[in-house]
């Protein structure tokens, strides 16, 4: 179960606060996955008590967008901690889908990759299994193919430790790179923080999802949770 709350001492009216929280959660807590299961209890709430002496913020206030952005970035940091603590997780994985025609499509594709047990198993095993990533993109529940053009798609692993080359291309313009540098792939996949980059090349929208690998430990933890 995911639970969380954000508290502030700003004065924000309840309508603006709900809008702010909903926007933040759309790009943070609703973009994480450990195991693809949704709880009966997931809740994120936010309180604003107005202890700071400043005018009340509503949707028309000049600072509404600024505070909304700050709350969103803050919520992303808080949400990412949940993924880092994923049951049995050894890796924190950012799935970055960019240049999509539609945000919702970028989100669906990112979610599909993030929830794939086979992708997550491969990441745990440090196997550069681009076929599983492409497979997960292919069955994502898109309404149409506006955002997904097989001839334009690029898929890469991105090194997060500053080492070079930073990007290891797995698929370029729809063509699998069969001569992948396996030793470089192993170096990148050995990192505890990974990034999978999917460039759809069909627009300008992007979505980041955060997930983790799937290890033996996950089953151990969940085999006897109730008893």
Partner 1 sequence: SSASKTLDKYALFVPKSGVFPKGYEVASLASGVKKNGALDLGVIRNVNKSRKSSAAAVFTTNRFKAAPVQFSRKVLDISSGEGVDAIVVNSGCANAVTGELGMQDAENVASQVNKYVGEQNSTLLMSTGVIGQRLQMDKISTGIDKLFIENKFSSDFGSWLNLAKSICTTDTFPKLISSKFSLSDGTEYTLVGISKGAGMICPNMA
C-alpha 116/C-alpha 109 separation (Å) is 11
Pick the closest to residue 121 from 107, 106, 136 (CA basis).
Answer: 136
Least separation in angstroms between residue 136's CB and partner 1 is: 14
Exposure on the CB side of residue 222, measured as CA atoms within 13 A: 13
Provide the token pair at 106: 């970028």
Least separation in angstroms between residue 227's CB and partner 1 is: 10
Q: Is the CB of 75 or the CB of 109 nearer to partner 1?
A: 75
Q: Is the CB of 160 or the CB of 177 nearer to partner 1?
A: 160
Pick the closest to residue 91 from 182, 211, 181, 2 (CA basis).
Answer: 211
Q: Is the CB of 50 or the CB of 176 nearer to partner 1?
A: 50
Catalytic residue flag (residue 8): no
Least separation in angstroms between residue 138's CB and partner 1 is: 20
Q: Is the CB of 30 or the CB of 100 nearer to partner 1?
A: 30
3-state helix, strand, coil in the chain (%, to 5): 35, 25, 40
C-alpha 113/C-alpha 156 separation (Å) is 13
Least separation in angstroms between residue 140's CB and partner 1 is: 14
Active site residues: 1
């Amino acid at each position: 179960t995911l639970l969380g709350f954000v508290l502030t001492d700003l004065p924000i009216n309840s309508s603006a606060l709900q809008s702010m929280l909903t926007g933040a959660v759309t790009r943070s807590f609703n973009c994480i996955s450990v195991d693809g299961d949704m709880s009966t209890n997931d809740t994120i709430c936010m309180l604003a008590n107005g202890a700071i002496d400043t005018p009340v913020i509503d949707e028309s206030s000049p600072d509404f967008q600024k505070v909304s952005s700050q709350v969103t970035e803050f919520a992303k940091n808080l949400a990412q901690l949940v993924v880092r603590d994923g049951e049995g997780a050894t890796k924190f994985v950012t799935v970055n889908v960019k240049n999509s025609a539609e945000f919702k499509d970028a989100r669906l594709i990112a979610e599909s990759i993030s929830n794939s047990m086979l992708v997550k198993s491969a990441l745990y095993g440090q196997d550069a299994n681009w076929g599983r990533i492409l497979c997960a993109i292919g069955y994502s529940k898109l309404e149409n193919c506006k955002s997904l053009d097989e001839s334009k798609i690029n898929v890469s692993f991105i090194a997060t430790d500053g080492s070079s080359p930073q990007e290891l291309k797995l698929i370029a313009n729809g063509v699998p790179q069969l001569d992948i540098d396996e030793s470089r792939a192993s170096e990148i996949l050995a990192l505890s923080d990974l990034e999978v980059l999917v460039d759809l090349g069909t627009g300008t929208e992007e979505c980041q999802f955060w997930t983790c690998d799937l290890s033996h430990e996950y089953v151990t933890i969940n085999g006897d949770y109730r008893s």
